[in-house]
């Protein structure tokens, strides 16, 4: 059985989807803060249904928790 990855609103997420941040997030290890409303395109699902991988603005290989995202 495969687990379904869902965003903060319960909408199913798939590889390649675009998502929007619902909260300002500080990126550990950098001085970058991703602002609320930032659009992140072409996400990749991980083995953990609570996390996705993506490339955002100046940060490559970023892992975000799905509780801070909504499908764009």
Give CA–CA dist 2/34, Å, rounded: 30
Tell me the residue length of the chain.
Answer: 72
CB atoms within 10 A of CB 26: 10
pTM value is 0.89
C-alpha span between 42 and 54 (Å, rounded): 7
Q: Give the max Cα distance, the chain.
A: 40
Q: What is residue 47's DSSP assignment?
A: S
pLDDT grade, residue 57 (50/70/90)?
Answer: confident
pLDDT digits (tens, 9 = 90+) for 14-46: 999 999 999 999 999 999 999 999 999 999 999
Q: Which helix (H) or strand (E) holds 62?
A: strand 59-65
Provide the pLDDT confidence category of residue 58 given band limits of 50, 70 and 90: confident
């Amino acid at each position: 059985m495969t687990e379904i990855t869902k965003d903060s609103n319960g909408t199913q997420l798939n590889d390649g989807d675009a998502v929007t941040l619902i909260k300002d997030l500080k990126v550990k290890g950098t001085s970058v803060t991703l602002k609320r409303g930032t659009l992140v395109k072409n996400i990749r699902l991980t083995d953990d249904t609570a996390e996705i991988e993506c490339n955002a603005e100046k940060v490559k290989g970023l892992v975000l928790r799905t509780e801070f995202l909504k499908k764009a």
